[in-house]
């Protein structure tokens, strides 16, 4: 990942969209809004050197206009096209914003899929990408637990987490992800207590990547002093959950299921 900041995807108003300049700007804004709704950091603006862009164009045939969306890298190379659904020429040239909004909404999933494919290709070819190397994690410890819970849970996580293939580091500024644990104890009827544990994973900028939540019921007072085997069982389960969060956020999943907001984090490297 490029951290921080993620690059912008620019959607400039087209000069070849079979539209006058005012309508071209409306189309650009409609496409931008559709992508932003899909959590893509898109902007209707002028392209500057070093930026990725989605170039808009359109062709006319048999009284129909077919929109085209071309992804262009910072060097000016095409990385793929998406063809939009044909629109009647009368509707296209009528200047109705709803026509452009509908066209953009129909094309947005395909554009997102193209971004996903390009993102995966970049990650797979970059040996320094999290796609191809272990994640470096700075673990700041656990707070909120009674007894020796903070120390026991932290010790267990430090033992278990490297087994997942990820790497613990001692310095925050060298980490790809930050991890911290929190514990909350709540008294319940019948002499029970609920133990609520959260393992919060964030990127170096502090943006939350995932929350591995655990809940356990114990007899009141059980954990007032020693956590013992309970801490080991908790961290064994939690380490796998933390690894899963990082796997999803890093785009390593083979099924392509990942957070769309991270789709173009690698673009512009």
For residue 126, what pLDDT is reported? 64
Alpha carbon distance 8, 269 (integer Å) = 12
Mean pLDDT of 176-182: 96
The pLDDT assigned to 234 comes to 94
> Of how many residues is the chain composed?
269
Q: How far apart are CA 32 and CA 263, in angstroms?
A: 15
Q: Domain 9-125 is of which CATH architecture?
A: 3-Layer(aba) Sandwich (3.40)
- Measured CA to CA in angstroms, residue 123 lies from 1, 13, 103, 130, 246 at distances of 8, 30, 30, 7, 15
Q: 228-250 and 149-160 helices cross at what angle (nearest 10)?
A: 50
Percent of the chain with pLDDT over 70: 87
pTM of the full predicted structure?
0.56
pLDDT at 32 over 50: yes
Q: What is the mean pLDDT of residues 75-96?
A: 92
- CA 17 to each of CA 25, 41, 123, 189, 224: distance values in angstroms, whole numbers, following the listed order: 10, 23, 33, 67, 69
Q: Which of 38-52, 121-135, 170-184, 230-244 has the lowest mean pLDDT?
A: 121-135
Q: Which residues contact 212 (CB under 8 A, 6 or more apart)?
A: 198, 199, 201, 238, 241, 242, 244, 245
Structure tokens belonging to residue 92: 């296209």
pLDDT (mean) for 6-31: 89
Per-residue pLDDT at 57 exceeds 90: yes
Phi, psi of 15 (to 5 degrees): -105, -10
- The CB-side HSE value for 37 (13 A sphere, CA atoms) comes to 14
The pLDDT value recorded for residue 16 is: 76
41-45, 49-53, 128-132, 232-236: lowest mean pLDDT where?
A: 128-132
Q: Is the pLDDT of residue 259 over 90?
A: no
Q: Kindly compute the dihedral angle of the four CA atoms of residues 244, 245, 251, 254, in this order, to the nearest 10 degrees.
A: 20
pLDDT at 266 over 60: no
pLDDT at position 95 is 84
Calpha distance 64→76 (Å, rounded): 29
Domain extent listing, the chain: 9-125, 136-250
* pLDDT of amino acid 249: 80
Q: Is pLDDT at 265 greater than 90 in this prediction?
A: no
196-213 pLDDT tens trace: 999 999 988 888 989 999
Task: Kindly give, in sequence order, each residue whose CB lies less than 8 Å from that of residue 181, ignoring residues fewer than 6 positions away.
Answer: 141, 142, 143, 153, 154, 157, 197, 198, 199, 200, 238
- Domains 9-125 and 136-250 agree in fold: yes
Q: What is the DSSP letter of 5?
A: P
Q: In the prediction, which pLDDT does 75 show? A: 87
**CATH for 136-250?**
3.40.50
Q: Quick one: pLDDT at residue 153?
A: 97
Give residue 253's pLDDT: 53
Phi, psi of 84 (to 5 degrees): -80, 170
């Amino acid at each position: 990942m490029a951290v921080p900041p993620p690059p912008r995807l620019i959607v400039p108003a087209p000069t070849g969209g079979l539209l006058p300049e005012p309508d071209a700007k409306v189309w650009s804004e409609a496409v931008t809004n559709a992508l932003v709704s899909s959590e893509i950091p898109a902007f209707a603006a002028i392209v500057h050197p070093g930026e990725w862009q989605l170039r808009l164009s359109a062709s006319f045939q048999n009284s129909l206009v077919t929109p085209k969306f071309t992804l262009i890298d910072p060097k000016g190379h095409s990385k793929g096209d998406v063809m939009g659904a044909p629109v009647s020429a009368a509707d296209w040239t009528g200047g109705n914003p709803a026509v452009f909004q509908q066209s953009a909404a129909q094309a947005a999933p395909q554009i997102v899929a193209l971004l996903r494919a390009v993102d995966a290709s970049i990650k797979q070819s970059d040996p320094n990408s999290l796609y191809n190397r272990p994640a470096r994690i700075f673990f700041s410890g656990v707070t909120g637990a009674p007894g020796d819970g903070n120390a026991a849970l932290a010790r267990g996580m430090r033992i278990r987490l490297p087994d997942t293939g990820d790497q613990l580091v001692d310095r925050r500024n060298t980490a790809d992800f930050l991890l911290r644990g929190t514990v909350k104890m709540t008294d319940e009827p019948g002499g029970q207590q609920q133990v609520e544990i959260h393992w919060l994973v964030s990127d170096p900028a502090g943006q939350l990547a995932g929350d591995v939540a655990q809940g356990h019921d114990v007899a009141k007072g059980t954990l007032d002093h020693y956590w013992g085997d309970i801490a080991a069982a908790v961290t064994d389960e939690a380490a796998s959950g933390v690894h899963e969060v990082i796997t999803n956020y890093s785009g390593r999943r083979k099924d392509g299921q990942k957070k769309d907001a991270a789709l173009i984090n690698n673009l512009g490297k």
